[in-house]
């Protein structure tokens, strides 16, 4: 019955653990747990998860960002961003211009309506965050952030 060196079969313990102990899956499960609470809030306000990442990046940035900066921070590709920025601009959630010193480089900032949206959604999402923070405890949450950062740094 499935010797240790057999090719992994359906009931093989290693195979079972492999899926359960897959780092991408563990990260996905945790993220889904968080996002399942958060997505309905975003949907109510007519923004997708990816659009929200853009708005959050812009609202947190001290200075306007280029498309390249945004791409790096939000993990969205250029073509996706191009279309998305056009749509967000049409909705007056962001503003676009060109860099003074380099006409190729775009200069993107959050617009007042975008900041309002972030300010509206923020408090609503806080309850979700508090629920998770309370469930884990502050020390565990700190550890989690630390470990996630270290994992990200391995890229």
What residues line the site for DNA (CB under 7 A)? 39, 43, 48-51, 66-68, 75-86, 96, 101-106
Which residue, 11 or 100, has its beta carbon nearer to its own copies? Answer: 11
The answer to whether the CB of 9 falls within 8 A of the CB of 2 is yes
C-alpha to C-alpha distance for 56 and 74, rounded to whole angstroms: 9
Task: Supply the minimum distance, in Å, between the C-beta of residue 65 and its own copies.
Answer: 10
The residue range among 82-90, 94-102, 137-145 that interacts with its own copies, by the rule CB under 8 A, is 137-145
29 binds, among DNA, its own copies, none (CB under 5 to 8 A by kind): its own copies
Which residue, 26 or 86, has its beta carbon nearer to DNA? Answer: 86
C-alpha to C-alpha distance for 142 and 102, rounded to whole angstroms: 41
Nearest to 132 by CA among 23, 25, 32: 32
- How many residues touch its own copies (CB under 8 A)? 60
The answer to whether the CB of 92 falls within 8 A of the CB of 86 is no
Which residue, 77 or 103, has its beta carbon nearer to its own copies? Answer: 77
By CB under 8 A, name the one of 4, 5, 11, 100 that touches its own copies.
11
C-alpha distance from residue 93 to each of 40, 52, 102, 111 (Å): 20, 11, 24, 5
């Amino acid at each position: 019955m499935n010797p240790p060196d057999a090719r992994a079969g359906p009931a093989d313990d290693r195979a079972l653990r492999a899926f359960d102990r897959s780092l991408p899956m563990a990260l996905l499960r945790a993220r889904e747990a968080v996002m399942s609470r958060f997505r309905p809030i975003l949907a109510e306000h007519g923004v997708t998860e990816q659009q929200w990442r853009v708005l959050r990046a812009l609202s947190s940035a001290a200075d306007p960002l280029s498309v390249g900066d945004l791409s790096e921070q939000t993990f969205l590709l250029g073509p996706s961003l191009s279309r998305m920025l056009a749509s967000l601009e049409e909705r007056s959630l962001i503003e676009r211009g060109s860099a003074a010193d380099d006409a190729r480089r775009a200069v993107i900032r959050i617009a007042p309506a975008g900041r309002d949206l972030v300010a509206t959604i923020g408090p609503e999402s806080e309850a979700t965050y508090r629920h998770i923070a309370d469930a884990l405890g502050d020390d565990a949450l700190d550890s989690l952030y630390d470990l996630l950062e270290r994992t990200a740094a391995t890229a």
